[in-house]
Structure 1
Amino acid sequence: MSTNGKGDKRLVADRRYPKSAAKPAAAPRKTRRKPAARKVRRGPLGWIAAFVRWILRLAFRVTAVIVLVAGLILGAMVWSTSTTLPEYQALLDGRARGSVTMLDADGRIFALRGSQFGGAVTVDSVSVHLKNAVIATEDKRFYSHFGVSPRGVAGAVRINLSEGRGPLSGHGGSTITQQTAKLICLGREYDPTEWKSEADYVADCRQSSLQRKAREAIFAMAMEVKYSKDQILSIYLNRAYMGAGAYGAEAAAQRYFGKPAGALNPSESAMVAGLLTAPSRLAPTANLKRSQDRAATVLRLMNEQGFLSDADAAHWQANPASLSSDSQSLDGGYFGDWVMQTGPDFLTRDTTEDVIISTTLDPRIQRATAEAVNKVFSEKVRDGSKAEVAVVVMSADGAVRAMVGGRDTDASGVFNRATQAVRQTGSAFKPFVYATALELGYSPLDTVVDEPFCMSIPGSGRWCPENYTNDFRGRVTLTDALKHSLNIPAVRVSESVGRDLVMRVAADFGIDRALQDTPALALGASEATLLEMTGAYAGILNGGSSVTPYGLRELRIKGDDTPLMGTGGGIAERVIRRDAAEQLTWMMEKVVSEGTGRRAALPDRAVAGKTGTSQEARDAWFVGFTADYVTGVWMGYDDNTPLSGVTGGGLPAEIWQAVMLRVNEGLPPRPLPMQAPAPSQVQQAPQQSPERAPTAAAPSRAERETVLEQLLRSILGGN
């Protein structure tokens, strides 16, 4: 390689390329200097903000620690509780521990109580529709929560507060798991040595205090740890009460539809699931229409939650479930409830045996009574009225033949106004005033003065009774005074013969519930139940002997022919002479044929009775009898609201007539056991002048008691 002669020069990289293409050397890196710390000056607001931030950070840390500790404690409690739970099969329980079958007077079954049908079921053995209906109705998030639903509890509290109740009163927001925990009483078994009855044990299990709710939540979460969701639901389906004495899904299916729980269609399943909210009130045996309406709501919920298609939901809503023929033949709900209360607990309400009870119920009379009440209320009671009614029909010996305890004429498990409503008797009490006078020898034709009258009552001042019509009739017979229900003559007679004796006669006839020892006693200021009043009138019909109303004739264990107990009632001791009772019946017949009770008159037979209207028309009564039956009717409001335009001689008398027309259908008319007074017996009854004691013509208290005792001893000794 040749050169130019100037010598070899080293080729360097930077000369191979133009200078402009050379990469400039990197500039020396400047060190970033930290700015000098500035002294921050905080004013008062800055210090306050810093303090608040510190408090919040501290609160958060403390809260986090508390939550962590509480979670650990709760987890330990849940785990500890779960270790004490038995295997789930031990909790299934078919609830078939004892049943009561009631027979009417013809020997046919009319009512069932207790666990009539047994057999444990599981989620897999019941109808899938029933499972879905229960979940849709009771707990739609059942398969996703951990035993407690905070959202459900919050919603329930909000609803309760918005409706003016306490946060834990009313809606509970309980999950199915919590309800199951309550049904098994948080694992606490019934111990008869600890509780007076199983009813007390159950009541304690149903408490809803805040402490109880907390224990229930822990127990529910423990169940979720121990059991699967299907196992919990199976326990629930076996334990829940579903009305009409049916515990569990199998019992309800058999009781209402005569089929196993696995064969229920969507409509039947919806009806059974709907009962869980209020089993006694919604039971189809109590009110089929109300139960069907509730089932329609359940079907809608099933549709909304995807368990039923629109078409299926519409189909089953249009074809609601109905009772089986066997269930439809059962009636006498109020009567059956009353019989259960009159027998011993260990053989009725708390029985562990299968018991058969023969009763006095007449199915024909029961149906006739219910039909009459329904007819009168549908035709003569205004729409929307909440007035209630009760009717009792019995024989002269106290045997109850029919009972209606409310406008739902064949309900069971609800308030029975015939036996549980204690109400003022009003003028229906007056026959016992005149019974006392007749027993002391007075005649129905004796006279008493009806004129303005006042008395001085110690501690209350002057008391001036008035007649309902606010007029006065002058001198009237005792019969006229009773048939026109005059108040002033009744008070005069009561004070003259002795209020103490009136109280004694009334009590002996069965009206002994805290009788008020005041002049107003004669006007029915004291209280009684309809059953007591009807029983007392039965004593007048039978000739003056008291009766104990009864419905139970015989009780025995199923499969055993030897009765364990017999009739618990019937005719007892004589209260007044037979001729006094027959004269009183004659006077009471005038009440119906000529007086305030005309609307109760029957076309083919004599009737004796008495109207009654309590103070401010809060209660209206008609109690009366033919030769065969005694019937009592009461009307009023449960909350004591005064009746509007109703007195004992109005709707109660009309209901009485409607009932007795049907009851006496086909029976030959028989004369009443009454005795007209002889005109020669007429005398002036002792009077009581205003502000004065009884006149000298009236016997003294000692003389009255002596006469009454002698009469009773001679009568009882002769019989």
Structure 2
Amino acid sequence: MREIIPARWKNRIQNFFLDLDARIDSTLFSSGKGLRELYERYSTFMDRFYVGRWKRWVFIEPLSEAATIGLGGSILMLALAVPAFRETADDDWLKKSDLAVTFLDRYGNPIGSRGIKHNDSIPLEDFPDNLIKATLATEDRRFYDHFGIDIAGTARALLTNAQAGGVRQGGSSITQQLAKNLFLSNERTIERKVNEAFLAVWLETRLTKNEILKLYLDRAYMGGGTFGVDGAAHFYFNKSARDVNLAEAAMLAGLFKAPTKYAPHINLPAARARANVVLDNLVDAGFMTEGQVFGARRNPAFAVDRRDEASPNYYLDYAFDEMRKLVDTFPKSYTERVFVVRTAIDMNVQRAAEEAIENQLRQFGRDYHATQAATVVADLDGGVRAMVGGRDYGASQFNRAVDAYRQPGSSFKPYVYSTALMSGFTPNSTVVDGPVCLGNWCPQNYGHSYSGTVTLTQAITRSINVVPVKLSIAIGNYPKGQNPKNEWEAAKRGRAKIVEVARRFGIKAPLPDTPSLPIGADEVTVIEHAVAYATFPNKGKSVTPHAVLEVRTGAGDLVWRFDRDGKKPLQAIPASVASDMAGMMSHVVSEGTARRAALDGIPTAGKTGTTNAYRDAWFVGYTGNFTCAVWYGNDDYSPTNRMTGGSLPAQTWHDIMVAAHQGVEVREIPGIGMGTKLPQPTTPATIAANNAPKVLETKPGPPPVLTKRGADILVRVEKLLDEAGKTAGKTSSSDQAAPVSTGALAFPENYAAVGPGDQTAPAPRKN
């Protein structure tokens, strides 16, 4: 029985699998047969529609290819549209830019306004007919016929520009321009143009043509810090947009293309020429006849003279951007769009800053080949008291104090020295000023010379470049006194610590890791740099730059207040380090590269900065009351004529701070009190360094460039003085003439001396 049972189960298992295999084979055969029959039926059915010969290639194949390409194009367009439609995710998209803000100074006096008030703006039907026609004829003649993108107009613009070899006509419709104003920036990239096109189509589906035109007239920037045609009409003509005549309407319509270039208060001839082009467009479009525009040609518009009005436009732009970000933090349920904002600006300091920069550029800008400057003055709590973003707001609205990233040069070194003090160094610690190389990069001091053993105080006073680089190596995670085997890795770790400390100060610029970072080869903004220095007089606490002090509704209800709701100070560095740094940096002003910044009776500390090829010149300094940064240079990064941070920047800083301290109780700076200096080191190794040549004390003036003839004259004068001294010595030994310093003749009083070590070395070469 034991042998029969297993055999029986074995047969059953075999039969089961044979049956299963048969079923599978049968199913596959039946399925294949069914599919063949189905395909034959399908083929028989489709044969009825067969098109052969020429009809196939003329109709069927093109339609098939078009369907394939259309499907692929639809998928591609959907992928491209996703980034654009993300901009519309906010349900409040129409009101994001719809703020009406009236700005007050710190004392409650009105200083200007920004934004628009959509609900109370002029209805479209109240705008003059000639203004509407002038806008359409110039910006988008087929506005009421296209779907958001004027394909014919774009093609015409491309053809015209190709024939002219440059940009002569714009291809963007009014809807596209509105999409840019509402959602996008002014950057000229393909991505922005693609997003603009999709958003234009989206706007056409959400708004009527009249609503789009109305928003465009209200939101477009019109120059002079104004937005919308009504604001521009008030600014340029002292009247409402309801009351402008044809000549004025043509001038307003001409501003849409380039408000900075054609602003009548800046360049009236250019504005009138542009208005004449608008009148031509009215005739070409058939909206008016030549006879109707003849009067406007003969009697062009006159703009109100605004040259004497000193509106702090750079400051207002910065405050408005800050206000828009602040509104985004309010609860979603908050629907108020009209605000009155009290700012930290002091108009006396603001005017002093503007005048100081304009005076220096007018007097010395041509000699130094410098065309632009920027400055920020701030309280020690970060409140911005004054801001100058450029020489002329009417000529350029680009805010160099906020948006421009420039190399700080030696003015970056205080962050390096602060890191060193936090790593165990002291102001009297000594470092050998001698050759050092990181890879193929070897930093050089100004003058290509070395001073031997110096203290940190002496190094920052004389703005020595080698010392910060050696400090970056020394603080790179190695025990004090130990020589690292790999200086490159040590310097890399040290730079990481320096960047971390700079972040605590409030520097948010990228600060990429490069060997030349310790001497200021990376880029920062003026406002961040200025307010970061407030950490030193604040006993090591960093603060946030801000313009807004208080926000109220139009009805006067308090919404936000900085001292209650703003960001609190952060302990960035120990108070003892801040005090030591203040003492070290006070020597820069009293006996170093920034003597022109010294204030009579007011304790001062700071640091100059000059970058490679003299492209940027800085002075950043502070008192017990304020901090201030001054930058000079050129927008195209072209070199200046040997301008250093100790020349125009230091002098400008001095002039601004003298005005800022008028009527203000002077406070001491922790670490130097009311002006006392740190005791001079008395070690034998540093006594010799103290006897090094000091920077010449000179007044602002042209760069130290002498012709050969001038140099020959100075040599002859020197010889005459020597001979006079010898003659006096022969006639009376008791009344011998004192020796004359030839160095004093090398640079006359009206020539600017170049401070040593105040220029960054070239960036390392790439292998």
Question: What is the identity, as a one-letter code, of the residue corresponding to 1:272?
Answer: L
385-394 or 363-372: which moved more? 385-394
SS in 2 for 1:378: helix
Match of 1:555 among 551, 556, 576: 551
Give the superposed CA RMSD: 5.0
> Counterparts of 1:451-490 in structure 2 under 5 Å?
451=434, 453-455=435-437, 457=438, 461-490=439-468
Check 1:299–1:368 CA distance in 2 against 1; reply closer, same or farther (3 A cut).
farther
Verify the 8 A CA contact 2:149 2:197 in the aligned structure 1.
Answer: no
Verify the 8 A CA contact 1:620 1:652 in the aligned structure 2.
Answer: yes
Answering whether residue 113 of structure 2 is matched by residue 112 of structure 1, we say yes
Q: Distance in 2 between matches of 1:566 and 1:614?
A: 36
Match of 1:421 among 396, 404, 408: 404
Answering whether residue 312 of structure 2 is matched by residue 316 of structure 1, we say no
Report the counterpart of residue 249 of structure 2 in structure 1: 269
SS in 1 for 2:350: helix
Check 1:604–1:210 CA distance in 2 against 1; reply closer, same or farther (3 A cut).
closer
SS in 2 for 1:582: helix
Q: Distance in 1 between matches of 2:571 and 2:385?
A: 22
Alpha-carbon offset, residue 234 of structure 1: 6.8
Question: What is the identity, as a one-letter code, of the residue corresponding to 1:261?
Answer: A
Verify the 8 A CA contact 2:314 2:399 in the aligned structure 1.
Answer: no
Report the counterpart of residue 47 of structure 1 in structure 2: none
Question: What is the identity, as a one-letter code, of the residue corresponding to 2:252?
Answer: V
> Counterparts of 1:47-62 in structure 2 under 5 Å?
none
Q: Distance in 1 between matches of 2:413 and 2:108?
A: 39
Check 1:406–1:124 CA distance in 2 against 1; reply closer, same or farther (3 A cut).
same
Alpha-carbon offset, residue 631 of structure 1: 0.8
Report the counterpart of residue 49 of structure 2 in structure 1: none
Answering whether residue 398 of structure 2 is matched by residue 400 of structure 1, we say no
Alpha-carbon offset, residue 540 of structure 1: 1.0
Q: Distance in 2 between matches of 1:541 and 1:400?
A: 16
SS in 2 for 1:423: coil
481-490 or 290-299: which moved more? 290-299
Match of 2:274 among 297, 317, 321: 297
Alpha-carbon offset, residue 536 of structure 1: 1.6
Q: Distance in 2 between matches of 1:147 and 1:449?
A: 68
Report the counterpart of residue 625 of structure 1 in structure 2: 622
SS in 2 for 1:171: coil
Verify the 8 A CA contact 1:111 1:331 in the aligned structure 2.
Answer: no
Check 1:231–1:118 CA distance in 2 against 1; reply closer, same or farther (3 A cut).
closer
Encode CA deviations 1:273-328: one digit per residue, 9 max, x unaligned.
2321135x3696xx8314774245314653895377767545435x3344699996
Question: What is the identity, as a one-letter code, of the residue corresponding to 2:518?
Answer: A
Q: Distance in 2 between matches of 1:331 and 1:488?
A: 38
Report the counterpart of residue 341 of structure 2 in structure 1: 357
Question: What is the identity, as a one-letter code, of the residue corresponding to 1:158?
Answer: L
> Counterparts of 1:141-156 in structure 2 under 5 Å?
153=154, 155-156=156-157
Q: Distance in 1 between matches of 2:659 and 2:271?
A: 34
Report the counterpart of residue 335 of structure 1 in structure 2: 318
Question: What is the identity, as a one-letter code, of the residue corresponding to 1:505?
Answer: V
Verify the 8 A CA contact 1:448 1:684 in the aligned structure 2.
Answer: no
Q: Which runs of 5+ in 1 are unaligned?
A: 1-57, 67-92, 186-196, 686-719
Alpha-carbon offset, residue 517 of structure 1: 5.1
Answering whether residue 232 of structure 2 is matched by residue 260 of structure 1, we say no
Verify the 8 A CA contact 1:535 1:548 in the aligned structure 2.
Answer: yes
Match of 2:174 among 179, 202, 209: 179
Encode CA deviations 1:445-467: one digit per residue, 9 max, x unaligned.
4433222x224x4xxx3442210
SS in 2 for 1:535: helix
Alpha-carbon offset, residue 624 of structure 1: 1.0
Report the counterpart of residue 697 of structure 1 in structure 2: none
Verify the 8 A CA contact 2:265 2:307 in the aligned structure 1.
Answer: no
Verify the 8 A CA contact 1:116 1:251 in the aligned structure 2.
Answer: no
Match of 1:492 among 455, 470, 475: 470
Alpha-carbon offset, residue 428 of structure 1: 0.8
Report the counterpart of residue 519 of structure 2 in structure 1: 523
Question: What is the identity, as a one-letter code, of the residue corresponding to 1:294?
Answer: A
Encode CA deviations 1:494-539: one digit per residue, 9 max, x unaligned.
3334425444433322235444556533212333222221122111
Verify the 8 A CA contact 2:247 2:275 in the aligned structure 1.
Answer: no
Report the counterpart of residue 104 of structure 2 in structure 1: 103
Report the counterpart of residue 575 of structure 1 in structure 2: 573
Check 1:131–1:616 CA distance in 2 against 1; reply closer, same or farther (3 A cut).
same
Check 1:506–1:205 CA distance in 2 against 1; reply closer, same or farther (3 A cut).
closer
Q: Distance in 2 between matches of 1:683 and 1:644?
A: 39
Verify the 8 A CA contact 2:175 2:204 in the aligned structure 1.
Answer: no
Alpha-carbon offset, residue 368 of structure 1: 1.7
Check 1:367–1:338 CA distance in 2 against 1; reply closer, same or farther (3 A cut).
farther
Of structures 1 and 2, the larger Rg is shown by 1
Alpha-carbon offset, residue 436 of structure 1: 3.3
Answering whether residue 537 of structure 2 is matched by residue 541 of structure 1, we say yes
Check 1:531–1:296 CA distance in 2 against 1; reply closer, same or farther (3 A cut).
same
SS in 2 for 1:432: helix
Report the counterpart of residue 656 of structure 1 in structure 2: 653
Report the counterpart of residue 8 of structure 1 in structure 2: none
> TM-score, normalised to structure 1's length?
0.65
Alpha-carbon offset, residue 268 of structure 1: 4.1
Q: Distance in 1 between matches of 2:157 and 2:534?
A: 52
Q: Distance in 1 between matches of 2:106 and 2:272?
A: 35
Verify the 8 A CA contact 1:123 1:234 in the aligned structure 2.
Answer: yes
Check 1:330–1:676 CA distance in 2 against 1; reply closer, same or farther (3 A cut).
closer
Check 1:627–1:233 CA distance in 2 against 1; reply closer, same or farther (3 A cut).
closer
SS in 2 for 1:320: coil
Encode CA deviations 1:427-482: one digit per residue, 9 max, x unaligned.
1111222233444564434433222x224x4xxx3442210211122223322211
Q: Distance in 2 between matches of 1:239 and 1:534?
A: 33
Verify the 8 A CA contact 1:443 1:682 in the aligned structure 2.
Answer: no
Q: Distance in 2 between matches of 1:104 and 1:421?
A: 25
Report the counterpart of residue 508 of structure 1 in structure 2: 504
Alpha-carbon offset, residue 179 of structure 1: 1.9
Encode CA deviations 1:31-73: one digit per residue, 9 max, x unaligned.
xxxxxxxxxxxxxxxxxxxxxxxxxxx9xx99xxx9xxxxxxx
Report the counterpart of residue 600 of structure 1 in structure 2: 597
511-520 or 582-591: which moved more? 511-520
Q: Distance in 2 between matches of 1:94 and 1:515?
A: 36
Alpha-carbon offset, residue 392 of structure 1: 0.8
Q: Which runs of 5+ in 2 are unaligned?
A: 1-54, 64-93, 284-289, 477-493, 687-767
> TM-score, normalised to structure 2's length?
0.61
Verify the 8 A CA contact 1:372 1:655 in the aligned structure 2.
Answer: yes
Report the counterpart of residue 77 of structure 1 in structure 2: none
What percentage of residue pairs aligned between the two structures are identical? 35
Q: Distance in 2 between matches of 1:471 and 1:158?
A: 61
Check 1:199–1:535 CA distance in 2 against 1; reply closer, same or farther (3 A cut).
same
Q: Distance in 2 between matches of 1:383 and 1:138?
A: 43
Encode CA deviations 1:674-713: one digit per residue, 9 max, x unaligned.
163345886979xxxxxxxxxxxxxxxxxxxxxxxxxxxx
Check 1:248–1:483 CA distance in 2 against 1; reply closer, same or farther (3 A cut).
closer
Alpha-carbon offset, residue 485 of structure 1: 0.7
Verify the 8 A CA contact 2:111 2:312 in the aligned structure 1.
Answer: yes
Q: Distance in 1 between matches of 2:601 and 2:586?
A: 14
Alpha-carbon offset, residue 391 of structure 1: 1.0
> Counterparts of 1:583-598 in structure 2 under 5 Å?
583-598=580-595
Report the counterpart of residue 713 of structure 2 in structure 1: none
Report the counterpart of residue 3 of structure 2 in structure 1: none
Q: Distance in 1 between matches of 2:96 and 2:451?
A: 67
Verify the 8 A CA contact 2:266 2:394 in the aligned structure 1.
Answer: no
Verify the 8 A CA contact 2:584 2:678 in the aligned structure 1.
Answer: no
> Counterparts of 1:8-157 in structure 2 under 5 Å?
97-116=98-117, 118-119=119-120, 121=122, 125-127=126-128, 130-131=131-132, 133-134=134-135, 137-138=138-139, 153=154, 155-157=156-158
